[in-house]
Amino acid sequence: MKNIIFVMTVTLAMTFLTSCGPQAGVKEDKIVETKKVEKVEAVENKVLTDKDKMTIAKYSSYSQAKKKQKKWREMLGYINNIFEIDPNFQYAKDILLYWRGTGYEELGVSDSALVDYERFLELRSDHEGVMIKLDYIYATSDELEKAIDISLKLAELDPENNDYNKKLGKYYFKTIKQLKEENEDDPEIGEIAEITIEYFEKYLEINPDDEEINNLSTQLTALFMDKEVLIEKYLANIEKNPEDVKTMGKLADMYYKDGMSAEAAKLYVKVHVADPKNLKIIKKLIRINKNNISKAIIYNKKAIELDSDNESYNLSLAKLYKEKKLFSKARSECKKALKKNRNNKNAYKIWAQVYTASVVACEADITYEDKLVFTIAYGLFEKSGDTRRMHSMKEGGQVPSKMDYFQNKSTEKPTRRCYKWINMEWDEAKYIGEFIKTL
């Protein structure tokens, strides 16, 4: 009967204290000093008395309350009291060890936090929270072997989380750097490089636009993979599976870096046909066709369809139209770019260059009409903030001087056939009149 009454008393005390914690009117026992801990070895089990169990229940409740209040020193004191009574967790909950580690970490006592986290992981090997904390501690202290081991366990718990492929790749990459510092000829470096590339490739399948990982993967491939062997491997994969666009893209990248632009372009086109919404491939097709203006125009238009808010493709298209002497279309793209981003000063600069290119395309000696067209460009360069170019235009006599104006007062606009594309109702045409007023 006494035992039953005792169990009921302890249960009621734990329920009440866990929900409430120490409150006004409840006297708290004196807490012990917060102290640094070392690795704790298991000690021979001691028999806990009923009073010990009651004290553990009470201090557990107090420590939970202090944890919620983020009063870490007081929480540590209560937990230390519990561990002095019950170091082997016969009655105390092992989660207290995790709490104490958190308290030490919050107070900046990282070595003690590490001891508690490692011991807690021995007791609860599948606890994701403690593994995440240990992963951070190991990685920041360059204990890469331990960090990799923890990340592998986390990846097993959450196999759909692609970030672990990136993390593991970066840990292995750092391991390579460490090994190279110790011994550049270490044969293990090549083996680890292959593992690293595999993790990066897995990550890039889902996040293909991550520039950092693309660069690291390319760097490793160039350093540790035999180029000819790799090309043969890619070609064999494509022959076996003609729809393997991923391998085609990799092979195209290799060809492009080796200056084999024609071969690379053919493969990029195949990848684009198979995956027409792959913006990354379209950008590569734009770059590889920089000397084929007609094709570059086609792919820039496709990029605009896929990334309609990005004004940079409109500006690239404006430059291409300018090269083809389609000045009205080039101007239109500059206007579209500014609608998307009115603060893009480069749009005004390209717009100005459309007018200067138009003057050059007239292929004749510079006349007063040409200077009027240059004046429109001058006003647009001013909008772009390019004062150096404005000064150069004045010094070079590209814009009218006072004498030019008085000698050609009757000419108010450019009428030469090559300027028929210019509509004098356009807003930028006002720059002519504004400039003339300054003379």
Evaluated on CA atoms 381, 385, 387, 389, the torsion sign reads negative
The CA dihedral of 9, 10, 12, 16, to the nearest 10 degrees, is 130
- Average pLDDT, consecutive stretches of 10 residues, N- to C-terminus, the chain (439 residues): 42 40 40 48 70 93 94 94 90 93 92 93 92 92 93 92 93 91 86 88 84 86 76 88 89 88 94 94 94 96 96 96 97 97 96 96 89 97 95 94 92 92 96 94
> 1-124 and 226-275: same fold?
yes
**CATH no. for 1-124:** 1.25.40
CA 169, CA 286: separation in Å to the nearest integer?
A: 30
pLDDT at res. 21: 44
pLDDT at res. 318: 97
Where do the domains of the chain lie? 1-124, 226-275
Express each pLDDT in 204-228 by its tens digit. Answer: 888 878 889 988 887 887 777 777 8
CA distances 384 to 148, 340, 373, Å, are 51, 16, 17
Instruction: Count Cα neighbours of 335 within 13 Å in the Cβ-side half-sphere.
Output: 9
Instruction: For 39, list phi and psi in degrees, rounded to 5.
Output: -60, 125
Residue 148 structure tokens: 């990799």
Domain 226-275 has CATH 1.25.40.10: yes
- pTM score of the predicted model: 0.57
pLDDT at res. 77: 94
Express each pLDDT in 226-266 by its tens digit. Answer: 778 778 888 988 999 998 888 899 899 889 888 899 999 99
CA distances 187 to 86, 111, 146, 149, 408, Å, are 49, 34, 21, 21, 80
Instruction: For 326, list phi and psi in degrees, rounded to 5.
Output: -95, 70
pLDDT at res. 44: 58
CB 180 within 8 A of CB 186: yes
User: How many C-beta neighbours within 10 Å does residue 360 have?
Assistant: 9
CA 239, CA 243: separation in Å to the nearest integer?
A: 9
